Structure formats: C-alpha cells, structure tokens
C-alpha cells in the first residue's frame, strides 16, 4: 500500500530486490557465543537466529565456524548497528562493501539497520543517537537508504529508535517521519515494540497510538527486549533500552496489540547484556510463540 505523500517535492524510490524467502512467522533469538555449542548439540525448536553484522565482518575465526553450521539448520536475520544511516556525512562505502560480502556469504532472509546516527567526521560513537525529524534530515536519510539498498541489492528493514531526548527543531512526529521514509525508499520496517514503549513513556505519549500510526504494512520483523527503570532530573520515569532484562509485562501487552493489527510476524527476542542461559531465552521465545499462535488463529477465524 502506498501512503499518500505529505511533501510535494518527494520522489518515491522503487523497491529494491528482496530475498527469495522471508523469515518464518515464528519467534527467534539473537545468536550469542555462550550458546553456540548448546544450539548445535540440541537444535532447539526456533524460527530463526539473528546476528549483529559488525561481529562478523572478518574473513574467518570461530564466530564464522559456528555461524556456518547454525545457518545450515536455521533461517537467519542480520542486524546492522554501525551503518549510521542518519549521519550528516556520506556513508562509509568500505563498510557497505563488507556488509555486502557478509550478506552474499550467508544469504540471510532479512537485513536491518537503525534509524539513528553514530559517526561524525572521523569519530565513531558507541551508541545509536537520535535525529531531528525535519525535511533536511528526511532527505538525507532517504538518500542514504537508497544508496544502501542499491549497494546491497536488497530491501532493508529500518528499525524505529528508543529515544530519551527530542530535538526542538523537529517539525514532524516520528511516525510521520518513518512513514515518509518507507514511502519514498520502498524500505521495510523493523518494529521494535520495546523501543516504541520506552520512547512513548519517556516522552509522555501513548505507545498504542504511536504503533497504530506507523506504516504497519511495511513491517517485516518485530523486536522484543527488556529495559531498565530510572528517573529524569524532574523525577519523572525514565526507561533505558538496555537489552539486559526480561521483557516487561507492558511490552508483552503492546506486542499483543501489535499482532492484532499485523497478524503473525517474525519476532526476535533480544538480549545483549546479562546473558542468561539458553533455557531462559527459549522460555521467552515460547511465550512469543503462544502470542503468534493466537494471532494466527484470530486471522484464520477472520477469514473463515
């Protein structure tokens, strides 16, 4: 579905070539080295695994040894964290070349990146920093996405950010900004439900209204994760997207709301800090599978 443009000067880009297969509409896990051997020994019942691209941008080594064997058994999603789509400078073409080689090597069902920036001049910041939502930024992000999709020869998914501050210069809300990016570039959306909840609480907004305003037809994958709780200088709640805790009940509820609108959608359980045992993560994946099963049943009953 094409969203009508709010900007008369916009020039929609044609969708880029897509992988031949999608991720299954099941739950997956982020692949961690602590679990390599157990995964190969037990072959857990999972829909897919996801890796961070930047951990695999070398030619060889133990990570590739295990990933090759696990990729033989499971669908794969690759998630980039270093492309700096929103940077105010040209993209790093050497980084794009390394990404292209990795994608060619493993032929993942999905590749995604963040709506954020992390580079300035020659400096790299180990964080995913927010953007002003205005027309110059929109034009730059769309140009970078067009370049990325052309270089990688595939449609990519763009992830909505978790934010703690907003720019006074913003003239668009985040959902409108993302909708226009999708319309112009033909990219897809990686809907991080935890990010949606964290940002909404931090900025005193309704997370359900935010999700309903997104271009949901473009969603190709969902992320679920945990957060930490703090307070800002005024004593108001401040949520931190840590990926270091179990998924909160409020995020599960928002996930159910999302699936009511999307139907079954590939769903990743993210845990990047305080990594628990594989059994703990599999239990969270099984919880997501139950919600996916409910969504599948609801969809079937609606069609019948």
Using CA atoms, how far residue 105 sits from 60, 102, 113, 210, 289, in Å, is 12, 5, 18, 37, 29
| Residue (of 154, 77, 87) closest to 109 by Cα position | 77
Structure tokens at 128: 């995913």
Domain membership of residue 7 (yes or no) is no
* Residue 143 C-beta-side C-alpha neighbours within 13 Å: 12
Q: How confident is the model at residue 217 (pLDDT cuts 50, 70, 90)?
A: very high
Spell out a b/e string for 19-35, using b for 16 or more CB atoms within 10 Å of the CB, else e.
eeeebbbbbbbbbbeeb
Instruction: Determine the average pLDDT of the residues in 178-201.
Output: 97
> Is 145:218 a contact under the CB 8 Å cutoff?
no
Cα–Cα distance between 9 and 170 in angstroms, integer? Answer: 19
Using CA atoms, how far residue 147 sits from 39, 97, 137, 191, 195, in Å, is 36, 12, 15, 22, 26
Q: pLDDT, tens digit, for every residue of 265-283?
A: 999 999 999 999 999 999 9
Domain membership of residue 116 (yes or no) is yes
What pLDDT score does 13 carry?
Answer: 38
Cα–Cα distance between 152 and 61 in angstroms, integer? Answer: 24
**Beta-bridge partner residues of 117:** 129
Domain membership of residue 34 (yes or no) is yes
What pLDDT score does 165 carry?
Answer: 79
Using CA atoms, how far residue 223 sits from 129, 146, 148, 190, in Å, is 19, 24, 22, 7
- Above 80 in pLDDT, residue 119? no
Cα–Cα distance between 51 and 41 in angstroms, integer? Answer: 19
Domain membership of residue 12 (yes or no) is no
Domain membership of residue 131 (yes or no) is yes
User: Considering the chain, what percentage of its residues have pLDDT values greater than 90?
Assistant: 72
Domain membership of residue 1 (yes or no) is no
* Cβ neighbours of residue 144 closer than 8 Å, sequence gap 6 or more: 85, 86, 87, 91
- Above 60 in pLDDT, residue 17? no
Radius of gyration for the chain, computed over Cα atoms and rounded to the nearest angstrom:
19
Q: How confident is the model at residue 18 (pLDDT cuts 50, 70, 90)?
A: very low
Structure tokens at 16: 């880029």
Domain membership of residue 16 (yes or no) is no
What is the domain range of residue 51?
27-303
Domain membership of residue 287 (yes or no) is yes
Q: How many domains does the chain have?
A: 1
> Is 151:98 a contact under the CB 8 Å cutoff?
no
Tell me, what CATH number does 173's domain have? 3.20.20.150
């Amino acid at each position: 579905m094409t969203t009508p443009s709010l900007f008369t000067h916009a020039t929609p880009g044609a969708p880029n070539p897509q992988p031949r297969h999608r991720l299954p509409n099941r739950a997956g896990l982020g692949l961690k080295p602590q679990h390599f051997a157990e995964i190969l020994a037990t072959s857990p019942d999972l829909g897919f695994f996801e890796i961070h691209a930047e951990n695999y941008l070398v030619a060889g080594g133990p990570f590739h040894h295990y990933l090759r064997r696990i990729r033989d058994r499971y669908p794969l999603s690759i998630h980039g964290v270093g492309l700096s789509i929103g940077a105010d400078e040209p993209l790093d073409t050497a980084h794009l070349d390394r990404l292209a080689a990795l994608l060619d090597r493993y032929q993942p069902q999905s590749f995604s990146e963040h709506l954020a920036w992390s580079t300035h001049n020659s400096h790299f910041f180990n964080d995913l920093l927010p953007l002003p939502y205005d027309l110059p930024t929109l034009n730059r992000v769309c140009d970078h996405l067009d370049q990325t999709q052309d270089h990688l020869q595939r449609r990519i998914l763009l992830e909505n950010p978790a934010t703690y501050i907003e720019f006074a210069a913003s003239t668009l809300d985040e959902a409108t900004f993302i909708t226009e990016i999708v319309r112009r570039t033909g990219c897809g959306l990686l809907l991080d439900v935890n990010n949606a909840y964290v940002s909404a609480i931090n900025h005193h907004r309704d997370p359900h209204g935010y999700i309903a305003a997104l271009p949901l037809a473009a969603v190709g994958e969902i992320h679920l994760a945990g957060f930490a709780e703090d307070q800002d200088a005024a004593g108001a709640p401040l949520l931190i997207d840590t990926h270091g805790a179990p998924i909160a009940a409020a995020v599960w509820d928002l996930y159910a709301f999302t699936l009511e609108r999307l139907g079954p959608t590939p769903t990743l359980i993210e845990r990047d800090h305080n990594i628990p045992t594989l059994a703990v993560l599999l239990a969270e994946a099984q919880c997501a599978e139950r919600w996916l099963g409910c969504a599948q049943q609801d969809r079937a009953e609606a069609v019948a």
